Structure 1
Amino acid sequence: MDPNEAPTEEWHGQIVVVRAAGAIDMVTAPPLLTAIRAAHAQRPKGVIVDLTEVEFLSSAGMQTLVTAHQEIVEQARFAVVADGPGTSRPLKIMGLTDFIELFTTRDAALDTLSE
């Protein structure tokens, strides 16, 4: 994520999608978590973090996803959209997909969380 490019929020009914781009590292992970928390504060049925345009996901970025999952899962569904060596691969290698729902497309995530 470009430090100058803030995450965006987009609503699809009662599902909110928080989209990030670029690299998620120790500088850009905190603003992403802030954006996820702000979206969750609006009480959606589900929160999707879209990493489709993310090229690099650091350990700080993965910790952000774990923290968000822990904070959200009691009140809403939580999912991540990622497909590629810079995003989905590290999530799988670190075992995060054992408890975080991972989708390869935003449409698939929206379809599942909207059910």
Structure 2
Amino acid sequence: MTSSSRDLPAVELAVTLDWRDSAAVLSVAGEIDLVSAPEFEEVVGVVLAGEPRTLVVDLRAVTFFCSAGLQVLAAAHRKLPERGLRVVSDSQVTSGPLKTTGLDTWIGIHATVDEALSQ
């Protein structure tokens, strides 16, 4: 089953949702800052309401990522089974904050969506 961004709330960020069996792949583009973080949180909440076993958040197209975005990911992590949240990142913009705060010990960071789904 595949969903499009039409199923998600309207946001400033560019987001798409793709269901792969019981895994939701949320791709995000743009800046996750204090202004857009509440929208990011709303989108993640909508996806979690669909009760995915795994949530993969693809941040490769994110150009700025602040602590408010980290809080959204930490909250999502608490709502999913262990290792149920996985992040796709290929830049320091997004993986750096996860590593600096130690969230990468609970939230896996992967280079590709396929790698994240195979874990």
What TM-score do the two structures reach when normalised by structure 2? 0.82
- Tell me, yes or no, if the aligned pair for 2:13 and 2:36 is still in contact at 8 Å: no
Tell me which of 67, 77, 81 is aligned to 2:75: 67
Per the TM alignment, residue 20 of structure 1 is displaced from its structure 2 partner at its CA by 0.9
CA displacement, residues 32-88 of structure 1 (integer Å, 9 cap, x when unaligned): 1111111111122211111010111101111111111112236x8111111212111
CA 16–79 in structure 1, closer or farther in 2 if over 3 Å, else same: same
User: Unaligned stretches of 5+ in structure 2?
Assistant: 1-10
1:24 maps to 32
What is the DSSP-based 3-state SS (H/G/I as helix, E as strand, rest coil) of the residue aligned with 1:9? Answer: strand
User: Unaligned stretches of 5+ in structure 1?
Assistant: none
User: Cα RMSD over matched residues?
Assistant: 1.7
Identity among equivalent pairs (%): 38
What amino acid maps onto 1:35 in structure 2? V
Deviation larger for 29-38 or 46-55: 29-38
For these two proteins, the number of residue pairs brought into alignment is: 109
Tell me which of 43, 59, 82 is aligned to 2:51: 43
Higher relative contact order (CA 8 A, sep 6+): 1
* Displaced runs of 4 or more, over 4 A: none
2:110 maps to 103
